[in-house]
Structure 1
Amino acid sequence: MLVIAYNQAQQIGDAVRSALAQTYQPLEIIVSDDASSDTTFAAIEAALAGYDGPHRVITRRNTVNQGISAHLSQLAQMARGELLFVAAGDDMSAPERCERVVACWLAHGRRPDLIATDLADMDEAGQLHERVSPTELDGYRGFDDWLAGRPWLIGAAHTWSRRLIERFGPMLPGAAAEDQIMVLRAILSGGAISLREPLVRYRRGGLSRKRRYRNVDELVARMRQSNRYGLAELAQLQRDADIAGIGERMRAAMAPKLAREQFIHAMFEADGTRERIGLLMRSAGVKPGLRMRMFLYASCPVVYAPGIWIKKVVRGNRR
């Protein structure tokens, strides 16, 4: 189990205790703090204090924040098991999670390279609500299926085969999440399947929640961050496709999205209004509406301030 944490001092104890409660043996648990600025690592140590159970436990922390993709890749290379369970620091795994997933993997002849379970929606108080069922993965037989409809996923309920790391190597740093990357790797290898049991308690309000921006500067900062994430994911998908021998097909399929992300990056990095106007006029491969919006965000973001203020007022009235 790869238990990753970042600034989750209030929740990480529950995540660690749920890992220690796993019924499957033998189990190695790696609990890793990605250079949190709060007391997350102290909370990890407190949750593990006095543990003398059957599992092998390793604790560690990064000196510099690496982000999810690089952090998980680092732990995957450290781990010794055939199956690698992703466990987010604000979620909880049901005690039988590892046992049920291993049984499923063995029943399929150790063939699948990724197993995704369902989840149980959990509020911040720990109360369980409705079941969360991501896209069924069993029908994805190859690249064509993935292109036809990229699945909706929650990586915190994924288990990988070590083969994915051995074949494709560690993930490139910079991606916001690993779920789409690892599922594509699995589809291109031994396959990805779904286990329809809610074995992960998925906490509302965690790091993966959708955050509202409070002003124009915050909106632009998040937009630029999303652009960096998008470019990093595209680079990773292309590299993995090259390894799998379908590089040209991926390049053709992702060309429109890559053009958009590169345009957005260039617009925000441009040196002055004249350069931005040039980008606006010559980027014919990008839809005109997007070009104009990005030009305004980069050149005169204040025009969006009234809309943000109205949204804040509406939200306040609803509350």
Structure 2
Amino acid sequence: MRAILLDQPGEAAGLLRVAELPAPVAGRGELVVAVACCGCNFADTMMRRGTYPHPKQYPLVPGFEIAGRVTAVGAGVDGFAVGDRVAGYAESGGGFAAFCAVAADAAVRLPDSVSFETAAAFLIQAQTAWHLLHTVSAVRPGEVVLIHAIGGGVGLYLTQLAVQAGAVVVGTVGTAGKERRALDYGASLVVNRAEADFVDEIGRFLNGRGVDRIYDSTGATILDRSFTLLRPLGQIVSFGEAEGRPLDNLWARLVEKSATFTRFHLGHLDFAAQAWRDGLRLTLAAVADGTLRVPVERVFSFEQAEQMYECLESRTVSGKLLLAVNPTATDSRS
């Protein structure tokens, strides 16, 4: 089968290439899916650079977020059949390929109204946002939440879901123009960190009121400065380190306000647990009825994988990038 293979971490030409590999076989509890589309996530770029915090063995096929048709069903799997249209979270990667094995518990059958492109664009980021808000924290009506990188994929889902939960949303971006979608999705204020001091701007906007929760994928100095805005007994939920790991003074920062610091990785959830099933059911239903918008920025052909990575790493993207693995595949929803 055709696959995008990453031979080893690095950015030299040729490390990310089209290769022919054996197709996967459905193991116990697994599905094999003929991939129509696969989502590109920041984690894919981290694996390319060798900075992904959850170790992977190289060479590897990137891609965690797939949509397509089931071609094989492993032993012990109920509720799926060959031919089903599905989306799935391939926790071990392998999505940038013609076929991908995925745990059945991490897959969901798609309603007729949801296309493969939409399905490949929502699952990981919307699930991450859902569990950031409702599993590792519990956002409440009237709370103020600060979302860093609010114009990115997870940030846009966090914005929509937090607003729907009754929270007031403020956020920051690092690139001009990325604030537009977040404001359209219900954010009350978005500060471009390249143009203004976000601590000053948000502090003025809130008139001295402390932020209840901070959702951070940046780390380093941005995270460190955010503690100034946090109320006593507030919570920070970390889910990435785009700028760098938290600074060494993290303990001192937490002690200052008796703050709570939580780190979240979607792959640490139990896919057989009710919390996973609830999040998947509710977000998919919201996507299907249009109450949760899925921002697809651009779709790349299979041969354009390198360009897709470069586009995501440019930090100018506000929405999802997709790899069209098999664009001629039938997406009949009849």
TM norm. shorter chain > 0.5 = no
Larger radius of gyration: 1
Higher strand content, 1 or 2: 2
Higher helix content, 1 or 2: 1
